[in-house]
């Protein structure tokens, strides 16, 4: 079942946009072709609720020695993406989103998940936020890590189905089926038009 099923989100909701950076845009070794396709939807939602938007940014380490285990193996495969070899411009949001910061906020992270260091959760709790409206990429990697961490912490999750993206259609589709079929009491999936019609916070 899809759609916003547990009532309109309101003042307790924020738009959490996952890793919509130049790092995953055209020309990058990590380019996600779909990102350009969903950018207009993400931009529309951000423009309507800039003060209630939070962008996470994935920040690679300066060098691979900061990580052990599978992360070391990961960056051995992508040495050009280490921060000491990467122009800082690649870490930035595209201009269509960056122009909303501030009042939109940014939280940087070095893992798929934004939750382990506690900063994001602490900020949301202090602000009285209980609902996360999630956009961004990738559907089955950083979005997945964000969604599962949000569920573990008790947040209501509304995933905007036409504003998430992946570089692989089969796994995007599989992830969306899992969100809709296995997390029906904790994840709502809805198109942007439905969300825009229902989300009308006072402030």
Residue 87 burial (10 A CB sphere; 0-12, 13-18, 19+) = exposed
Contacts of 15 (CB under 8 A, 6+ apart): 45, 46, 49, 52, 53, 54, 133, 134, 135
Distance, in Å, from the CA atom of 17 to the CA atom of 81, rounded to the nearest integer, reads 22
Which CATH number is 13-61+91-198's, of 3.40.50.1980, 3.40.50.850, 3.60.40.10, 1.10.10.60?
A: 3.40.50.850
Pick from 34, 28, 175, 6: nearest CA to 42: 34
Tokens 């280490």 map to which residue? 82
**Residues 157 and 187 sit within 8 Å (Cβ to Cβ):** yes
Q: What is the pLDDT at residue 63?
A: 81
Distance, in Å, from the CA atom of 140 to the CA atom of 55, rounded to the nearest integer, reads 18
pLDDT digits (tens, 9 = 90+) for 36-80: 999 999 999 999 999 999 999 999 998 877 777 899 889 999 999
Distance, in Å, from the CA atom of 59 to the CA atom of 96, rounded to the nearest integer, reads 20
Q: Quick one: CA dihedral 174, 176, 181, 187, positive or negative? A: positive
Ranges of each domain in the chain: 13-61+91-198
pTM, entire model: 0.96
Q: What is the pLDDT at residue 67?
A: 74
In the sheet with 131-137, reading across from the earlier edge strand, the strands are 105-109, 53-58, 13-18, 131-137, 156-165, 187-190
- List the chain residues with pLDDT less than 70: 203
């Amino acid at each position: 079942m899809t759609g916003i099923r547990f009532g309109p989100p309101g003042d307790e909701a924020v738009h959490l946009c996952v890793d919509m950076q130049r790092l995953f845009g055209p020309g990058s070794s990590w380019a996600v072709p779909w990102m350009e396709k969903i950018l207009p939807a993400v931009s529309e939602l951000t423009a309507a609720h800039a003060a209630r938007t939070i962008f996470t940014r994935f920040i690679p380490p300066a060098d691979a020695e900061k990580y052990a285990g599978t992360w070391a193996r990961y960056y051995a495969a992508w040495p050009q993406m280490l921060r000491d070899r990467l122009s800082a411009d690649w870490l930035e949001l595209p201009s269509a989103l960056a122009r909303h910061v501030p009042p939109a906020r940014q939280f940087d992270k070095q893992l798929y998940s934004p939750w382990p260091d506690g900063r994001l959760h602490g900020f949301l709790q202090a602000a009285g936020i209980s609902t996360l409206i999630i956009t961004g990429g990738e559907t089955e990697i950083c979005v997945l890590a964000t969604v599962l961490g949000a569920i573990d912490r008790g947040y209501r999750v509304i995933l905007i189905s036409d504003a998430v993206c992946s570089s692989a259609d089969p796994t995007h589709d599989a992830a969306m089926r899992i969100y809709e079929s296995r997390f029906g009491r904790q994840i709502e999936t809805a198109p942007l038009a439905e969300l825009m019609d229902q989300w009308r916070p006072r402030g």
